[in-house]
Structure 1
Amino acid sequence: MVEIKDQVVLVTGAGRGLGAAIAKAFGREDARVIVNYHQSEEKAKEVAKSIGDRAIAIQADVTDQEQVKAMFDQAEKHFGQEVTTVINNALVHFKFDALNRKQATTIDWEDYETQLKGSIKAALHTTQAAYEGMARLGFGRIINIGTNLVQNPVVPYHDYNTGKAALIGFTRSMARELGPKGITVNMVSGGLLQTTDASASTPDAVFDLIKESTPLNRVTTPQELADATLFFASPWSRAITGQNLVVDGGLVMN
């Protein structure tokens, strides 16, 4: 069994919001953490600094395969070990703004393409870059970040919801193929989190509605969802793959 403290963990889009919370959660468990960022350089370096010497901030556009390969090379050289764990969290060009969202009659195919690239293309690049090292170790953890809006699209963010729905299929297919190599592939799906940069545009009334509709009578925080990702990286989840864990206080029950 490989403990979290012995893992090298890549968190994409970790300069802010949920990604920063996930990176810090793994740092708290003494993992070596790669804080990936695209544009949030200062914030990513602050996250890495808060974790300490076991973290490094690396810039890469995860939709660019060559940049992803270069990031893996830099990380493995820095830590002297292959990346063991990948958290596909990066959110590409999207804000949770229910009032100003594109509707069925105004959304463009290009909007769908953007979110499919952000969800599937990015996850494909990191999975392929990690595969050789994970297979050599006979151990790997790939954890994709999804959304409960796939099961319950209370706000029909057409492009975002569709991209994350596709990510479920990606997760299950990869789990089936990579399992014999000791690599598990799972998904953690949150609801609207209170609060991240992406959800900052959400009116208080929406948060109040979620709170009232949730059995726990509160809105899930980034830190709570981050803790769930630790489970899929831990030895406790070693027999679990291809699963989608919804972390939203019971709003959606599968």
Structure 2
Amino acid sequence: MTGTTGRVALVTGASSGIGATTARLLAVRGTRVVVNYLRGAAAAEEVVAGIEAAGCQAMAVQADVREEAAVEGMAEQVRAAWGGIDVLVHNALVPYAVKSFQDMTWEELGGKLDAEMHSAFAVTKAVLPHMTEQGWGRIVYLGAGLSRRPREGMVALGTAKAALEGLARYLAQELGPMGITVNVVAPGAVEDTRMAVVIDDAVKQRQVAATPLGRLARPADVAQAIAFYADEDNSFMTGTTAVVNGGMAMY
């Protein structure tokens, strides 16, 4: 695998968890990485420092991906420093309510749907001019196994990620003729992430027991799938969803 040497990748929500691990992996493979963050400035700078210590290039850029002006400002900052963005990994996790549909308000469900789609819309719009101009691009969205396999209390997240998968397929169809691939990586439960804290030990043990590979995913497992989609050589997969769950659910 050649990696994406010399390319520029924007990883949203990259100060910790899957985003930080993905940023490090892409950097090691020769990509210049933009580490986007919302509030974790110190953590984002730590990710950048680690990448630079390995002899690779990275920069931290603050932006709320739900705000189009902030996203455009981030894209402009990257353009000024490194040119356009070649690879988009949209990983930033928008907060959501964990409760049953019966207990949920429309503001909680509709708000999550709006924020999920608005952030994907904003970051994609910001990177497309450069990708279409050069006739090459990689877009990878972070989905969730919950979009196809419901779990109690996760209706807001699962529904929003299902909408994101639908958007990805439409974009794959529209942008394919321009040399841009669009794919989704949909993890199951992942250790050491913000989502992991909503899983109690009993549920976790049941999930592990139901997983043929005998454990939950780690951020590195998800990052490997993302890097595969982002790679220069992976030019003929688009509109697909990679399920990273150790076989707990098979589609």
Deviation of the 1:68 alpha carbon: 0.5
Q: For structure 1, list consecutive stretches of 5 or more residues without a partner in the other structure.
A: 96-100
Once the two structures are superposed, residues 132-184 of structure 1 have per-residue CA deviations (whole angstroms, 9 ceiling, x without a partner) of 10011110000000011112113341111110000011000111111111011
Matched with 2:88 is 86
Please report the TM-score for the alignment, with normalisation by the length of structure 1: 0.93
Answer yes or no: is the 8 Å Cα contact 1:140–1:183 preserved in 2: yes
Matched with 1:5 is 5
Confirm whether residue 127 of structure 1 aligns to residue 130 of structure 2.
no
Counterparts of 2:234 and 2:123 in 1: how far apart (Å)? Answer: 21
Confirm whether residue 145 of structure 1 aligns to residue 148 of structure 2.
no
Matched with 2:29 is 29
Answer yes or no: is the 8 Å Cα contact 2:145–2:188 preserved in 1: yes
Deviation of the 1:2 alpha carbon: 8.2
Q: 1:116 aligns with which of 113, 116, 120?
A: 113
Answer yes or no: is the 8 Å Cα contact 1:91–1:118 preserved in 2: no
Confirm whether residue 64 of structure 1 aligns to residue 61 of structure 2.
no
Counterparts of 2:25 and 2:152 in 1: how far apart (Å)? Answer: 29
Counterparts of 2:182 and 2:71 in 1: how far apart (Å)? Answer: 19
Deviation of the 1:28 alpha carbon: 1.9
Change (3 A) 1:42 1:117: farther
Confirm whether residue 249 of structure 1 aligns to residue 246 of structure 2.
yes
Instruction: Determine helix, strand or coil for the equivalent of 1:160.
Output: helix
Counterparts of 1:85 and 1:21 in 2: how far apart (Å)? Answer: 16
**Equivalent residues in 2 for 1:35-50, closer than 5 Å:** 35-50=35-50
Deviation of the 1:232 alpha carbon: 0.3
Counterparts of 1:24 and 1:158 in 2: how far apart (Å)? Answer: 32
Matched with 2:196 is 199
Aligned residues: 248
Counterparts of 2:88 and 2:110 in 1: how far apart (Å)? Answer: 23
Confirm whether residue 169 of structure 1 aligns to residue 172 of structure 2.
no
Once the two structures are superposed, residues 41-94 of structure 1 have per-residue CA deviations (whole angstroms, 9 ceiling, x without a partner) of 111111111111510000001111111111011012112x21000011111124
Letter in 2 for 1:64: E
Counterparts of 1:116 and 1:159 in 2: how far apart (Å)? Answer: 7
Deviation of the 1:195 alpha carbon: 2.0
Counting aligned pairs with the same residue, the percent is 35
Matched with 1:14 is 14
Q: 2:205 aligns with which of 200, 205, 208?
A: 208
Letter in 1 for 2:179: G
Please report the TM-score for the alignment, with normalisation by the length of structure 2: 0.94
Matched with 2:229 is 232
**Runs of 4+ residues over 6 Å off in structure 1:** none
Counterparts of 2:108 and 2:20 in 1: how far apart (Å)? Answer: 26
Answer yes or no: is the 8 Å Cα contact 1:92–1:114 preserved in 2: no
Change (3 A) 1:2 1:179: farther
Q: CA RMSD in A?
A: 1.6
